[in-house]
A and B are shown apart, each in its own frame.
Chain A
Amino acid sequence: MIYLDNAATTKVSEAVFAAMKPYFCEQYANPSAIYTFAGKSMKAVDEARKDVAGLIGAQPNEIYFTAGGSESDNWAVKAAAETYRAKGRHIITSAIEHHAVLHTCQYLEKQGYEVTYVGVDEYGVIKLDELAAAVREDTVLITVMAANNEIGTIQPLKEIGEIAKRNGILFHTDAVQAYGHIPLDVDALGIDMLSGSGHKLYGPKGIGFLYIRKGVRIGAYVHGGAQERSRRAGTHNTPGIVGMGAAARLAAADLGENMKKQAALRDYLIQRVLDEIPYSRLNGHPADRLPGNASFCFRFIEGESLLILLDQKGICASSGSACTSGSLDPSHVLLAIGLPHETAHGSLRLTLSGETTKEEIDVTVEELKKIVGRLRSMSPLYEDFCKSQEG
């Protein structure tokens, strides 16, 4: 099997799994309990909090563990909207956010909030002038993702942070794809809130966090016990938190050389595909993109067919085609960067991990060439195109 869907989820690294193991059957105490047995668990939670914070230049007491990226996004956006309702009911976001932010914004619209969806350029970079122009007196939140999950484009967070700060508006970023993959510093970038998730960086599923800058006042989202400074109730997911901490620690060591290596392999993949498969295009920014993300569109063919045939060769990939989204429309991200529907339907996302090898990339490109050729040979769009070229 060749696994190239690491943006969907990653394998838990052996080191992370080893760190988590004692917290299931041995050190199983509820960390909030008073006895000595529980103290070790709380200590492990605190250590993990330091590691998670360290990766983004935050303080440990600014990290709130959640059940994952979607919860963090929901919390940040809904709680900010609710807490600052008296100031205003306007939110600014981008057209290419993950559904965890997009659908949360749409939910708020139904509650009487107004949302501006700022557009992006052909590479998927947010239009900063449009963003600045969208700011109103009643704007309470700017939420723009750090890097896009489909096309990998990294957003100009520093510039967005400056616009937010200049106007006294909270700035939240969904960094689920970026956290642990590119350097992020909440102070340098002017970030007030940041969502992260464990399973995108070789940690376990079901654990994430929301960074909330000290002094930022937003309400709780999950009400109940006094965990997480009374801002996020629920018994600590000790193994998950320990795993998240271990993953963050490993990622910190990996951010330099290893990510450069991954980016070089990504560029090799991109170059081979663009050189060897006609009528293909790269989606997203050619340079400012996640080290592991390669996103393509192949004209005249449809993404789901492509995925099934890749799967038969043991290659795991994903697509933003309509058929994979459960609706008739292709991905909102691909449409937002200006692709016509028929091109957007033929998208393929390959996302690498630290374990991906050049051999795996070579096999994938060879199979891809055959599969794209086969699907084109039975495509009426390709037939029409060839005839128009002849004519």
Chain B
Amino acid sequence: MYSEKVMDHFNNPRNVGEIENPSGVGTVGNAKCGDIMRMYLDIDGDGIIRDVKFKTFGCGAAVATSSMATELVKGKSIRQALEVTNKAVMDALDGLPPVKVHCSLLAEEAIHAALWDYAEKNNITIEGLEKPVDDIEEKIEEEY
């Protein structure tokens, strides 16, 4: 049911782990629905994402989308990171089964949550970044 790319990122997830004293950290999802993603960002003075790590509780697709999302934002500017949508993550993974689309939304949301945390810590506003929703599933249900 999963593409080769999804299986590759599930088996060899990139950037798993934690960053001590991160510039920003965000956790999205909930245990009730079975997926939780946490994203750590290390952002330098020029607003470039120097390092990114993740931890995920969830299915194969949840792990793979987290892994792919970290690859897509690493070394990028905040602006570029904001452009990493769930669709971009899905496309990079050669697609996901329909029931797993919510995992890619969670990955996008995890990046946003970490950036939001970074903005709050530094007392800045990132244009185009909205406050992440607490319960991602509520948002998904509205969208369907």
Contacts of A164 in B (CB 8 A): none
Contacts of A301 in B (CB 8 A): 57
Q: Taking beta carbons and an 8 Å cutoff, which residues of A are in contact with B?
A: 300-302, 304-305, 308, 312, 321-323, 326, 328, 330, 340-342, 345, 377-383
Shortest CB-to-CB span from B118 to chain A, Å, is 18
Q: Determine whether the beta carbon of B16 is less than 8 Å from that of A378.
A: yes
With A and B bound together, what is the CA distance between A301 and B33 in angstroms? Answer: 13
Shortest CB-to-CB span from B51 to chain A, Å, is 17
Q: Determine whether the beta carbon of B31 is less than 8 Å from that of A341.
A: yes
Binding-face segment, B34-42, B78-86, B121-129: B34-42
Q: Is B137 an interface residue (CB 8 A)?
A: yes
Contacts of A377 in B (CB 8 A): 16
Q: Determine whether the beta carbon of A322 is less than 8 Å from that of B60.
A: no
Closest B-chain residue to A304, C-beta based? Answer: B59
The residue that B60 contacts in the complex, of A300, A308, A342, with Cβ under 8 A, is A308
Q: Determine whether the beta carbon of A381 is less than 8 Å from that of B58.
A: no
Decide: A305 near B58, CB < 8 A? Known: A328-B137, A342-B31. Answer: yes
Q: Determine whether the beta carbon of B34 is less than 8 Å from that of A381.
A: no
Q: Determine whether the beta carbon of B32 is less than 8 Å from that of A342.
A: yes
With A and B bound together, what is the CA distance between A285 and B54 in angstroms? Answer: 38
Contacts of A312 in B (CB 8 A): 11
The residue that A345 contacts in the complex, of B16, B34, B61, B102, with Cβ under 8 A, is B34
Closest A-chain residue to B17, C-beta based? Answer: A378
Shortest CB-to-CB span from B53 to chain A, Å, is 10
Query: Which residues of chain B from 39 to 75 have any CB-CB distance to chain A below 8 Å in the complex?
Result: 54-63
Q: Tell me how many residues of B have a C-beta within 8 Å of chain A.
A: 30
Q: Is B13 an interface residue (CB 8 A)?
A: yes
Q: Determine whether the beta carbon of B13 is less than 8 Å from that of A302.
A: no
Contacts of B38 in A (CB 8 A): 380, 383
Known: A330-B34, A342-B32, A378-B63. 13 other contacts (CB 8 A): A302-B57, A302-B62, A304-B59, A304-B60, A323-B34, A323-B100, A342-B57, A377-B16, A378-B55, A380-B36, A381-B36, A383-B38, A383-B55
Listed by A's residue number, 5 A-B pairs whose Cβ atoms lie within 8 Å are: A305-B58, A305-B63, A323-B60, A379-B55, A380-B27
Query: Which residues of chain B from 77 to 106 have any CB-CB distance to chain A below 8 Å in the complex?
Result: 99-100, 102
Shortest CB-to-CB span from A106 to chain B, Å, is 21
Contacts of B13 in A (CB 8 A): 378
Shortest CB-to-CB span from A334 to chain B, Å, is 12
Contacts of A321 in B (CB 8 A): 34, 59
Contacts of A380 in B (CB 8 A): 27, 36-38, 55-57
With A and B bound together, what is the CA distance between A330 and B18 in angstroms? Answer: 28
With A and B bound together, what is the CA distance between A328 and B35 in angstroms? Answer: 9
Shortest CB-to-CB span from A375 to chain B, Å, is 8
Q: Which of B33, B38, B99 has the most CB of A within 10 A?
A: B33
With A and B bound together, what is the CA distance between A326 and B1 in angstroms? Answer: 12
With A and B bound together, what is the CA distance between A136 and B22 in angstroms? Answer: 62
Q: Is B10 an interface residue (CB 8 A)?
A: yes
Decide: A381 near B59, CB < 8 A? Known: A308-B10, A312-B11, A326-B99. Answer: no
Contacts of B55 in A (CB 8 A): 378-380, 383
Contacts of A302 in B (CB 8 A): 34-35, 57-59, 62
